[in-house]
Amino acid sequence: MKNIGIAINPSKDHKNTILNMVTKKIETICNVKNIKVYNSFDIKNLDLSFLDLLIVLGGDGTLLGVARELNDDFKAPILGINIGNLGVLSSIEISDLDLALKKLMIKDCKIHKRMMLNCEVSINESIKNIKTLNEVVVARGTLSRMVKFKIFIDEKLYAIFKGDGLIVSTPTGSTAYSFSAGGPFLYPDLEVVSIVPICAHTKSMHPIVIKGDSTVKIVAENSGDEIYLTVDGQRAIEMKDNPIITVKKNPKSLKLLLFNDYDYFRVIRNKVLNNSKECDGEEI
């Protein structure tokens, strides 16, 4: 491993204290001198094809943003190091860096492929294609009326319902918004897609899990009110005039570097199911 990149969220390390520490440890433990540093917000259109490993320093949002913006010629795995709040997607916590780098040197790790989605929508008479790792959400505006959704799976009508929104999620995203809306956990290595309604006003729509290479077409009608398309909870696009959104599997998978003692179920227990300290009420 000769070329390592570090994509860091600068808002979480204003004085580069963490970045400098990580860089020094990589040089010392891994004996790697060619380390390139990138702002995680400026990763789009950069040629990173020469990298053997990309380390992402931040939280889940940082990793999601980087995953969306990577060029298709990027082939290296990503090692997510959590310096944020939750870190469900991260490979390790920053406190475990020394041990992780030593494991990396003896190859006590493996690459896990994570399915991504491609969302196609017509905006202002132009077609936009957006890549996403977690989910695609189509939802009403804050003060808008309920949206009427027609959902087609592989050109066959599945359901028509009214509600606040709809989530099309990857297995990676099944622990995020989809979970909050009542969707199932999906084991992350699977190539399947879940479709979950948000506050459905009719009983004609139930969550469903479909095969990963299916095409989902969503027709959203809201009588001229606002409808928003959001990917990964980060990028929002306002749509009007009964938009048609097509979601399908992206041909490129994201490669995550995980260590051999990684336990998905422990992560779910500790960071999703039992992550209640911020909700239980703390003394002021």
The binding site for NAD(+) comprises: 60-61, 134-135, 145, 162, 164, 175-180, 234
Say if residues 4 and 53 touch (Cβ distance below 8 Å): yes
265: closest CA among 135, 175, 134? 175
Return d(Cα 61, Cα 59) in angstroms, integer: 5
- Which helix (H) or strand (E) segment is 149 a member of? strand 147-153
Return d(Cα 149, Cα 163) in angstroms, integer: 8
Catalytic, out of 60, 73, 98, 263: 60
Return d(Cα 29, Cα 101) in angstroms, integer: 7
Dihedral (CA of 265, 267, 268, 273) sign: positive
**In this structure, are strands 53-58 and 78-82 parallel, antiparallel, or unpaired?**
parallel
Amino acid at 58: G
Distance of CA 35 to the CA centre of its chain: 25
Q: What SS3 class is residue 140?
A: strand
Whether residue 98 lies in the annotated active site: no
Binding residues, by number, are: 60-61, 134-135, 145, 162, 164, 175-180, 234
**Owner of token pair 């040089």:** 27
Active site residues: 60
